[in-house]
Structure 1
Amino acid sequence: MKELKIETTLIVFDNVDELPEDVTKLMAVAMEARAKAYAPYSNFSVGAALLLDNGEVILGNNQENASYPSGLCAERTAIYYAGANFPDAKVLKMAITAGSRMQPTITPIPPCGACRQAIAEYEVKQDCPIEIYFMGETGKVVKSNSLADLLPLGFDKSFL
């Protein structure tokens, strides 16, 4: 038997003002997307913005449905749109912001498991890491240099 230790390093910024200028702009667009989310059931709105290597910025927000499993998260909304409309472009950066309409959200909210798996697919497809920045409504922002930092031992096409 052998023990396997997995470690990851994330960078934590105190607020959006500490981010690089391009990421500050990307997060501002993600905040605008969050404000347009359709979340009448959970009252939890999420916005995502992707920066592609062709300069395009793609937006996504969560879209809920009375049949709960039929909704879609902001991250997958954005990354699937990018894949459908810009199949040869690489996703360089992703900004995510989430907040509850019921209480202030100051804790950084990372992508859910399903979104991590979807992002992993695109990271493997493009053979290039995606920088991921995530936050609540305000406060600290966490940066991951790659989805692999958030999903160690991920499942991908190499297993098929």
Structure 2
Amino acid sequence: MEKQFKINFEAIESYDHLDAIEKTLFDKAMQIRDLAYAPYSDFTVGCAILLENGEIITGSNQENAAYPSGLCAERTTIFYTGANFPEVKIKKLFVIGAPRKATSSIPIPPCGACRQSILEYEAKQKDDIEIYFASLGGEIYKTKSIRELLPFSFDASYL
């Protein structure tokens, strides 16, 4: 018997349709994107995380000539957050990615490794993390939880 997953997400028409905190996260992710170290792919990504205490943490992708040694913006940011604010819940994560010279493109979601890492923190805090992903312009996608982007997810409950 064949079954299907339904993925729920919200398509926000543009930056102008974000609320004030969402605009702040977008702006912070866009600013930190400019500091990405991406000399090989020229694909730059910025991430901004909102903590429950109101603090915003940012990070960008960091490449390496030995490709597996680099790190995506989402993991750079979430690992820093986990190391420095281990007991503070993450409420929202906003990611913006595009080729450096692009003017706009479709929303860029977190890669599989980043999805799994976000899932770990969502499971640890026992509370959903809203995920927003965008490019330089156009629509912005929002999910209420990383589980929407990671069907059949694997977490510590299987161990």
* TM-score category of the 2 structures, normalised to the smaller one: over 0.9
Verify: 1:42 aligned to 2:41, yes or no: yes
Structure 1 residue 67 displacement after superposition:
0.5
| 2:124 aligned partner | 125
State the AA in 1 paired with 2:2. Answer: E
| Identical amino acids, percent of aligned pairs | 50
TM-score if structure 2 supplies the norm length? 0.97
Query: Structure 2 matches for 1:62-73, cutoff 5 A?
Result: 62-73=61-72
Query: Retained in 2: the 8 A contact 1:129–1:146?
Result: yes
Question: 1: distance between equivalents of 2:104 and 2:42?
Answer: 12
Query: Retained in 2: the 8 A contact 1:108–1:136?
Result: yes
Q: How many residues align?
A: 159
State the AA in 1 paired with 2:15. Answer: V
Query: Retained in 2: the 8 A contact 1:106–1:139?
Result: yes
State the AA in 2 paired with 1:154. Answer: S
Question: 2: distance between equivalents of 1:44 and 1:80?
Answer: 21
RMSD value over aligned CA atoms?
Answer: 1.0
Structure 1 residue 85 displacement after superposition:
0.1
Structure 1: gaps spanning 5 or more residues? none
Query: Structure 2 matches for 1:1-160, cutoff 5 A?
Result: 2-160=1-159
Structure 2: gaps spanning 5 or more residues? none
TM-score if structure 1 supplies the norm length? 0.96
Structure 1 residue 150 displacement after superposition:
0.5
